[in-house]
Structure 1
Amino acid sequence: MDIKNKRTGKMIFRKHRRNTNARLTSLVWPSRFLSVVLFMLCGKAITAQNASNGAGTINPPPLRLSAHDLSIKVGQTANVLLFPTENFKPVFQNVTESIYLVFHSSVPEVIQPLDNITLADATGLIEINHTLNIFALDAGKLTVTSQIVPQNISIYESTNIYLRVEVYKLETLLILSNIVGWIYFAAWSISFYPQIIQNYQRKSVRGLSLDFVFLNITGFSVYAIFNIGLYWFKSMQQEYYVEYPHGVIPVQLNDVVFTMHALFACGITVVQCLIYDRGSQTVSDTGKMLLCTLLVFVFVIFIVAASKAISWLTFLTWCSYVKLVITLIKYVPQAYLNWYRKSTSGWSIGNVLLDFTGGVFSLTQMIFIAYNHNDWASFFGDLTKFGLGLFSILFDIFFIVQHYVLYRSHAAYDPIEGGDNPSDPNQYDGDITTSNHFAGGSVDSADMENGAISSGDNNYDNQQPPISPAFVAVEQNDSQHAPLPSTTNPESTD
């Protein structure tokens, strides 16, 4: 009878695993959908770029600057050359009055005001090169724009004559800022792997919130669309410069590399969730509803952008907003799961510590930049970046408290199927490890069936599952009435 019940239990377990696998596999479609959107977006961008190239090149403007971005120390001077192009004469040869180029600074008293430049007068053209001397008076960030005077002269738009100037106090802080930037880049890049390594060593993802996993890969997918769209496609960049003529593309190569690497690491974690033991864990109904809502939103704005009702830049901007929303909520399911199980087993503390390190150094770099450029308005004004960084750090602190203070000595118990009390030690499922740094132990189904328990945390070696008081009473009662086993032929017993 014991063998029959054991086989029946194995069949029920395998059926349950197949159903759970089917439900989780159905959730892989968000990444497939976002991949299709990215592919279609790339095709659309390439088509638009080819169409723009085929329409003919625009003649170069009459005037150009040798540089648009300057970084100057307080008390020093930087020189920028203003020179005419081959189109200077055709534009200004028929003027009958003097024409001046006037400069305006967005922030006063940071650099010495620039003198006006005479481009042409009634006596003839002035084609000599002009040198702009930018002397730094105080730390700050500003934009210098230009304007043609008199304003009724419409022969030339001077929108390409502008400067973005950063004046800093200490060169040492520039070096420290770069070092800190590389530290948090490395910390955030490595932070994905402690969880991956722990899952591999345990052959289990019990204790890792599947809501967090799927929200994370969805967030990095839409963020990859934003970064790739703005970094690699000229048509997207042209739309950005139309919207912000003197702005800077907010995506650099390191942003693209980090996002693609994060997407790759999240993909590995998703695969681990599909193939490793996860007990009764699955994506919650709330998580499914949230994922579906966000994906439908991305799909709708993609269709609207493809129909040219909104620009592709607007589509990319809304994709970045989806990433921000996911970043705000993705840690909540994991924090709740830790509280529900009264344990952090299965959730890598190495991931938390590295993420905390990256967040702290990221805010440190923002402080260095704000102080060195006397630009505290941008530090507190960019509530999105500052708020997200601070929010992530607070969650990391909460996870650290859960791991090292609240649940440091608690064994990891999961409720059995149909259990009502998740913290009841009688609802034991075999996971007794609390170590979740870079390695951990768990009990697989084979060991449970054979009556063996694999070694996990050293503090819990040789620990047996807790026995229910009701089970002890039943055993004692049975032992009083059960006949003594036969010693003549033990193999003949059923």
Structure 2
Amino acid sequence: MLLSINFFAKILWLSLLTNVILADSLINDDDLNSGDKQQSKNNSIKSDPIDVQILAGETSSFDVYLINPPDKPVDVSFVCEHSPCSTFDNELSPIRLSSDNYRIRINITAVRPGHDVIVFEFNDTSISDKFAFTRVRVGRGQFWTILSLFWGWGYFFIWSLSFWPQNVTNFKRKSVIGLSFDYTILHFTGFIYYSIFNCGLYFSSVIQDQYELKFPRSEIPVELNDVVYGLHAAFTTSITFIQCFIYEKGNQRFALVSKLYQAIVWTVGIILIILVGFNVINWLTWIYYFSYVKLSVTSLKYLPQVYFNFRRKSTAGWTIWMIWLDITGGSFSMLQMLTIAYNYDDWRTLLGNLPKFGLGLASVVYDLIFLIQHYILYRNSTPSSSDSSLEKCSNIKTSTPTLNSNLCNNDNDDSTAIIVIESKPSTNTSINTS
């Protein structure tokens, strides 16, 4: 009953996230209203596009413009955030925006691969500089760009597919014996945490504004495929979680430490959202809390299944196809990050996203452990006698209900069951007296 309540509580939290997103306008009024109103009265200088992506040796352009014609001319100069500029050698000439010409095109020629942020500098304090910058990424060549896309979409589809083999295996066996319940609940709730972070940062304009204030001139680190992947993973792992209650499970149970961990995580989440209501913290802090929990879950979630296989000396019930897909997806993810870093000669992106790279590496390491268990350590092993009897007891049919109960409830692995079948004379037997 407690676990069922816990499951529906998580669904309630997803519903709560929807309310957070829909409450954007209200939060804007309460927390950011004064700043937005002040900026709406002032002019603003911007770039179009804000992101320029080209190859070395190519020429591209972006527009610098004012939202409204200025009252007086505005002189704008350009500097790279990290001087000197890494992607081009020639300095950009200053420009003057006026009421007659308040949109000017700037041409740049990339010399070498790299990453730059071009910042617009001007002295007019009545003009907002919130979006007065352009991000420039210069790649080595088209081959590396295509290869990066291949790794990216490859790991997206492979990792998405990896959630289904275990569900199919459970469905065919009508049993979850061999699947660690503690791994299952960590796998499921981990992607709920991940979805809360992705959906909040992708859909909520309030959280995006808070992110921009905390990380100026940074790109939002969540794409649509991240949102779809997280929600799909939460859905498929919820099926696995439900299967633990409806299929044959033997004497498997959720460990007390798993229940305590879930209770603590969600209790802290409730406390933090109360603090948001009292303006002690903001929504960005709240969703980042779940991202940190997701990092810890991903680092630890495989340990229960590794130990469970070790204790049983068997991998029966734990589908190896999921591991092959997972290790392939994890390898693709790391290869994409390495390809992007090399293509743009920007290893800061790799160092700045070490958690993602580290988690991909941790996933691959765990997968290698599972492969060693399956193909080497327990290659010729069979499930323990208790697992086998529990999985097969539903197929045992006898005429004695008490015998059925004793067989299916016997938890002693070393016990030997002696079945005595009492024969009864057939009522249809005829005796020839002639």
Q: TM-score, normalised by structure 2?
A: 0.85
Measure the CA separation in 2 of the matches of 1:277 and 1:470. Answer: 21
Measure the CA separation in 2 of the matches of 1:351 and 1:73. Answer: 38
Match of 1:141 in 2: 115
- Local SS of the residue matching 1:227: helix
Match of 1:430 in 2: 389
Match of 2:395 in 1: 447
Which among 44, 47, 51 is matched to residue 23 of structure 2?
Answer: 44
Kindly report which structure 2 residues correspond to 1:366-385, keeping only aligned pairs within 5 A, or say none: 366-385=337-356
Match of 2:316 in 1: 345
Answer with 1 or 2: which has the greater Rg.
1
Equivalent pair of 1:210/1:273 in contact (CA under 8 Å): yes
Tell me: CA distance 1:130–1:114, structure 2 relative to 1, closer, same or farther (3 Å).
farther
Equivalent pair of 1:211/1:287 in contact (CA under 8 Å): yes
Number of aligned positions between the proteins: 410
Match of 2:52 in 1: 70
Measure the CA separation in 2 of the matches of 1:117 and 1:181. Answer: 39
- Local SS of the residue matching 2:49: coil
Pairwise CA distance, 1:84? 4.1
Report % sequence identity.
31
Tell me: CA distance 1:265–1:116, structure 2 relative to 1, closer, same or farther (3 Å).
same
Tell me: CA distance 1:402–1:116, structure 2 relative to 1, closer, same or farther (3 Å).
same
Equivalent pair of 1:100/1:118 in contact (CA under 8 Å): yes
Measure the CA separation in 1 of the matches of 2:121 and 2:257. Answer: 55
Measure the CA separation in 2 of the matches of 1:298 and 1:63. Answer: 39
Is 1:393 aligned to residue 372 of structure 2? no
Pairwise CA distance, 1:127? 3.0
Which among 272, 284, 302 is matched to residue 331 of structure 1?
Answer: 302
Deviations 1:144-180 (A, max 9, x none): 112215xxx5333433221111111011110111112
Match of 1:80 in 2: 62
Tell me: CA distance 1:105–1:468, structure 2 relative to 1, closer, same or farther (3 Å).
closer
Deviations 1:161-202 (A, max 9, x none): 211111110111101111121111001111111000000000
Q: TM-score, normalised by structure 1?
A: 0.76
Measure the CA separation in 1 of the matches of 2:289 and 2:188. Answer: 17
Match of 2:82 in 1: 106
Amino acid at match of 1:262: A
Q: CA RMSD in A?
A: 3.0
Equivalent pair of 2:52/2:62 in contact (CA under 8 Å): no
Pairwise CA distance, 1:385? 1.0
Equivalent pair of 1:217/1:263 in contact (CA under 8 Å): yes
- Local SS of the residue matching 2:266: helix
- Local SS of the residue matching 1:133: strand
Tell me: CA distance 1:101–1:407, structure 2 relative to 1, closer, same or farther (3 Å).
same
- Local SS of the residue matching 1:254: helix
Pairwise CA distance, 1:307? 1.7
- Consecutive unaligned residues of structure 1, counting only runs of 5 or more, are 1-21, 414-424, 432-441, 452-466, 479-484
Amino acid at match of 2:80: H
Deviations 1:399-439 (A, max 9, x none): 111111111111111xxxxxxxxxxx5x56426xxxxxxxx
Pairwise CA distance, 1:126? 7.1
Kindly report which structure 2 residues correspond to 1:206-245, keeping only aligned pairs within 5 A, or say none: 206-245=177-216
Amino acid at match of 2:62: V
- Local SS of the residue matching 1:351: helix
Measure the CA separation in 2 of the matches of 1:58 and 1:43. Answer: 23
Measure the CA separation in 1 of the matches of 2:285 and 2:397. Answer: 56
Pairwise CA distance, 1:358? 0.4
Deviation >4 Å, runs of 4+: 49-57, 467-472
Equivalent pair of 1:168/1:373 in contact (CA under 8 Å): yes
**Farther-moved stretch of structure 1 (311-320 vs 111-120):** 111-120
Which among 34, 58, 61 is matched to residue 43 of structure 2?
Answer: 61
**Farther-moved stretch of structure 1 (34-43 vs 68-77):** 34-43
Measure the CA separation in 2 of the matches of 1:192 and 1:107. Answer: 46
Pairwise CA distance, 1:135? 1.7
Measure the CA separation in 2 of the matches of 1:63 and 1:110. Answer: 24
Tell me: CA distance 1:280–1:234, structure 2 relative to 1, closer, same or farther (3 Å).
same
Tell me: CA distance 1:240–1:450, structure 2 relative to 1, closer, same or farther (3 Å).
same
Measure the CA separation in 2 of the matches of 1:183 and 1:199. Answer: 26
